[in-house]
């Protein structure tokens, strides 16, 4: 079978590889689609993701497909089931897992990071992270269940009420997912700030978000929003997030920054506005909610997917030779998986 293998830092090769063996508690998935994430860019460049990826490894942690084989102990899915796969595998034994904080697991394993993922025709995963999807959900949409589940986790960490006004800073794929997730949760008003006129127009016209186009000089008002979600990961937007929060506001620092970046914060402002500043890491047990949001139509990810690649095109994308990509998926078997 074909696989796109990260053989070394900044080196991807399409190779013929053996079909993986299936352990008793595992599922073999015939890959339909695999999303390409900012984490894949980082792993390609030798930076850490949720964990370190050690070459040779097959990346791809956002995956959908059809169950091709199940191990002898598997009971939750069967051959032929259409599925999406949560990449994050928790140890269940460390202090974080045993105190209901598995996202902080000290021994995190991950499909497409520490073990081979979806940039290949078939991959294996423990049955406990394999989720059946409804007929109403396409395999292409299901491939991005993982990023949506990360947005769901971020929202779950907030104290959310319908009256609140929310600002999402950053019109990338994750920022746009937050818009729909928040509106699906019944928030009265969501504003998306960003640089792309096309993305801002889509989120205004199709999903009902207010918009601020900072590329046109439009300003984010200070001291205004009950909740601010920073979905960029840059010091200047992190500082903006704190400044934009109203008294009693909550600031969710979701954007993944450079590991060496720092931002300045006015400690008196945090005190005087009684702010809550919260981080959000991965997606503990949020797949069911993410699948339900998409299956019910409350979240529509397909308009946010700008490109569909094959395995051979992935290297050009992560190298920056393909421009203008909002969110890309790799088509392997597609809907016919």
Into how many domains does the chain fold?
A: 2
Do both 145 and 38 map to the same domain?
yes
Structure tokens that stand for 111 in this block: 């499909």
Do both 176 and 320 map to the same domain?
no
Whole-angstrom distance, CA of residue 50 vs CA of residue 113: 8
On the question of pLDDT at 50 being above 80, the answer is: no
Do both 143 and 288 map to the same domain?
yes
On the question of pLDDT at 147 being above 80, the answer is: yes
Do both 162 and 301 map to the same domain?
no
On the question of pLDDT at 47 being above 90, the answer is: no
Helix (H) or strand (E) holding 315: helix 314-318
Whole-angstrom distance, CA of residue 170 vs CA of residue 161: 22
Q: What's the pLDDT tens digit per position in 74-133?
A: 999 999 999 999 999 999 999 999 999 999 999 999 999 999 999 999 999 999 999 999
pLDDT at 181: 98
On the question of pLDDT at 219 being above 90, the answer is: yes
Do both 142 and 287 map to the same domain?
yes
pLDDT at 9: 93
With bands split at pLDDT 50, 70 and 90, how would you rate the model's confidence at 52?
confident
Whole-angstrom distance, CA of residue 82 vs CA of residue 66: 5
Do both 17 and 136 map to the same domain?
yes
Domain CATH code at residue 166: 3.40.50.720
Structure tokens that stand for 127 in this block: 């049955």
On the question of pLDDT at 277 being above 90, the answer is: yes
Whole-angstrom distance, CA of residue 208 vs CA of residue 228: 18
**36 touches 330 (CB < 8 A):** yes
pLDDT at 3: 98
Q: What integer is the mean pLDDT of 212-230?
A: 98
On the question of pLDDT at 175 being above 80, the answer is: yes
- Domain with 242, as residue range(s), is 158-279
Do both 321 and 187 map to the same domain?
no
Do both 51 and 100 map to the same domain?
yes
Do both 11 and 143 map to the same domain?
yes
With bands split at pLDDT 50, 70 and 90, how would you rate the model's confidence at 172?
very high
Q: What integer is the mean pLDDT of 186-194?
A: 96
How, if at all, do strands 82-85 and 130-132 pair?
Answer: antiparallel
Name 123's bridge partners.
Answer: 29
Query: Would you tell me how many other CB atoms lie within 10 Å of the CB of residue 88?
Result: 25
Do both 272 and 292 map to the same domain?
no
Phi-psi region of 274 (alpha: psi -120 to 50; beta: other; left: phi over 0): left
Give residues with Cβ within 8 angstroms of 222, minimum separation 6: 243, 244
Do both 87 and 163 map to the same domain?
no
Nearest by Cα to 69 from 23, 129, 4: 23
Phi-psi region of 324 (alpha: psi -120 to 50; beta: other; left: phi over 0): left
With bands split at pLDDT 50, 70 and 90, how would you rate the model's confidence at 335?
very high
Do both 51 and 113 map to the same domain?
yes
Domain CATH code at residue 65: 3.90.180.10
Query: Which segment of 13-22, 57-66, 147-156, 318-327 scores lowest on mean pLDDT?
Result: 318-327
Please state the pTM of the whole predicted model: 0.96
Whole-angstrom distance, CA of residue 60 vs CA of residue 113: 8
């Amino acid at each position: 079978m074909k696989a796109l293998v990260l053989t070394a830092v900044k080196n991807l090769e399409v190779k013929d590889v053996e079909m993986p063996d299936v352990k008793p508690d595992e599922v073999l998935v015939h890959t339909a689609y695999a999303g390409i994430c900012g984490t894949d860019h980082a792993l390609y460049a030798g930076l850490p993701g949720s964990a370190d990826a050690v070459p040779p490894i097959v990346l791809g942690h956002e995956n959908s497909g059809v169950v091709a084989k199940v191990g002898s102990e598997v009971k939750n899915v069967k051959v032929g089931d259409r599925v999406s796969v949560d990449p994050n595998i928790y140890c269940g034994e460390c202090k974080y897992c045993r105190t209901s904080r598995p996202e902080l697991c000290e021994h995190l394993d991950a499909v497409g990071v520490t073990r081979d993922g979806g940039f290949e025709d078939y991959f294996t995963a423990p049955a406990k992270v394999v989720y059946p999807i409804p007929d109403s959900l396409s395999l292409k949409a299901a491939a991005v269940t993982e990023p949506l589940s990360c947005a769901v986790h971020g929202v779950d960490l907030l104290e959310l009420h319908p009256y609140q006004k929310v600002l999402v800073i950053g019109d990338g794929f994750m920022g746009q997912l937050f818009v729909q997730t928040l509106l699906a949760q019944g928030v009265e008003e969501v504003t998306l700030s960003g640089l792309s006129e096309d993305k801002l127009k889509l989120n205004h016209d199709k999903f009902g978000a207010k918009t601020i186009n900072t590329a046109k000089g439009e300003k984010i008002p200070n001291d205004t929003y009950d909740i601010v979600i920073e979905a960029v990961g840059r010091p200047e937007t992190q500082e903006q997030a704190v400044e934009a929060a109203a008294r009693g506001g909550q600031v969710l620092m979701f954007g993944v920054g450079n590991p060496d970046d720092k931002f300045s914060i006015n400690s008196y402002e945090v005190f005087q506005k009684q702010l809550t500043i919260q981080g959000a890491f991965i997606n503990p047990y949020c797949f069911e909610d993410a699948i339900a949001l998409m299956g019910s139509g409350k979240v529509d990810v397909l308009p946010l997917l700008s490109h569909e690649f094959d395995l051979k095109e992935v290297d050009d994308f992560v190298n920056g030779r393909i421009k203008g990509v909002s969110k890309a998926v790799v088509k392997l078997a597609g809907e016919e998986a």
